[in-house]
Structure 1
Amino acid sequence: MTVDNSNNTRIASHSDLANLLKAHPAIDKLIKTNVYSYYLVYFTLTVFFITQSIRHYSWGHVTSGIAGGLIIWSLTEYTMHRFLFHWNPRNLFEKVLVYALHDVHHAYPRDVSRSITPLAASLPLAALFYFIFQAVFGKYAISIFPGFLLGYMIYTIIHDSTHHFPMNFSLAKQLKRHHMRHHYFDNRKNFGVSSPIWDYIFRTYSKG
């Protein structure tokens, strides 16, 4: 198994930026996420949209909408991780943005407060996706969006577990190995966290 050091070089190039952000507690606090706050916010939002969907549609419609939202999230997870979180920043603003969104997690992979996208970034993104869903799916967005949010929470649980728990049983162990290869062997591969399916489809899967 060949170790790829490009990610370490990229993180090292941000060392001055990391020190700068740490020197400003308000900024450093902004890019950290309280785990309990995260789950409270997204659990509340998910329950709210499911409740609203149940008020307007049958259980069959609601469950199919949630299933569709989960599938959309799965592809979104892969796409954002590959093309947004791992794009090469060209100026200071982009460096700060990429660092706050994701590079900080690669720099501190076992820091749970830095492994979740900050609420200051994820909530505006969630709102943007909701408006996109409304534009694309119209009145059905209200039953699809909670599946999308649920997928995000499932992704977060799996992601945190890969970094902080043994995950010894079969499927969990495979997911952990898949993500650890992304972190420690080749950050240009294995972008899926909750599922490797899109890595297989788009040929970014690596066994190491």
Structure 2
Amino acid sequence: MSAKFVSNRDETIPLFESPMLERLTHIHPATPVVVFLPIAGWFAWKGLQSGSWFMVAGLILAGLLFWTLTEYSLHRWVFHYQPTSGIGQKLHFLMHGIHHDYPQDHTRLVMPPPVSLPLAALFGFAFRGLFGVQYPAIFAGFLLGYVIYDTTHYATHHWKMKSPIGQYLREYHLRHHYRDDDLGYGVSSPLWDYVFRTVARRTRADRQPA
């Protein structure tokens, strides 16, 4: 995947001839908040049925931490995997390549619910098998992490982030797009970039597109 882009304007290209399939690829950026935040809240409430506030808070933080590792892993080893087959290349473009070609397209910055909901269910079942009665709170933190990730990702491309943390995250993610897409895989946090030595460091030559 090249760090270059086709267009840096808020525009896109059609992916499907079917109007219905094409519509499913254009998602309002608030969708993850509307869909997953209530689900995360419900699982947090379920966690409180079998544990104290203190314990549930700790498990939610553990789920958040696990999300950051999942975010990094998916971005680096799935979204940036370089397939060699024709169908693999097409799937890769649909999944992530189009975002690098059209990074400012605001309608294709979050995952469509027909994809994100089944994936969330798979993680939920896995957590249930791994953590037993403690899984609801961990899963709540994991889903909260996903909401934070998608919101942060949209913000780095389309919001004028004025806080020091917001400015840092925005500049950090834009280095991934416009300077070197083999670095800076963390979006909501650079933690695992430091662990795996893929930090997108700032240099004097940085010139971030607006």
Confirm or deny a common fold (TM above 0.5).
yes
Contact kept in structure 2, 1:175 and 1:193, CA below 8 Å: yes
Supply the AA of the counterpart residue of 1:111.
Answer: D
Cα deviation for residue 173 of structure 1 reads 1.2
Local SS of the residue matching 1:56:
coil
Supply the AA of the counterpart residue of 1:151.
Answer: G
Local SS of the residue matching 1:8:
coil
TM superposition score normalised by structure 1: 0.86
Partner of 2:93: 99
1:189-204 counterparts in 2 under 5 A?
A: 189-204=183-198
Partner of 1:15: none
CA distance in 1, matches of 2:56, 2:45: 10
1:141 and 2:135 correspond: yes
**CA 1:102–1:69: 2 relative to 1, 3 Å:** same
Percent identity among equivalent residues?
Answer: 39
Contact kept in structure 2, 1:192 and 1:198, CA below 8 Å: yes
Partner of 2:67: 73
* Count of residue pairs brought into register by the alignment: 197
| Greater helix content | 1
Contact kept in structure 2, 1:70 and 1:148, CA below 8 Å: yes
Q: Structure 1, residues 81-112: CA drift from partner, whole Å, max 9, x if none?
A: 00111111233443343223222222222222
User: Bigger CA drift: 134-143 or 176-185?
Assistant: 134-143
**CA 1:81–1:23: 2 relative to 1, 3 Å:** same
TM superposition score normalised by structure 2: 0.85
Q: Structure 1, residues 110-158: CA drift from partner, whole Å, max 9, x if none?
A: 2222011121211111111111111221221111000000011111121
Please point out which of 24, 27, 41 is paired with 1:30: 24
Contact kept in structure 1, 2:29 and 2:109, CA below 8 Å: no
1:1-208 counterparts in 2 under 5 A?
A: 6-8=2-4, 19=14, 21-207=15-201, 208=203
Query: Unaligned regions of 5+ residues in structure 2, if any?
Result: 8-12, 204-210
Contact kept in structure 2, 1:31 and 1:100, CA below 8 Å: no
Contact kept in structure 1, 2:50 and 2:133, CA below 8 Å: no
Cα deviation for residue 22 of structure 1 reads 4.3
Query: Unaligned regions of 5+ residues in structure 1, if any?
Result: 13-17
CA distance in 1, matches of 2:123, 2:91: 19
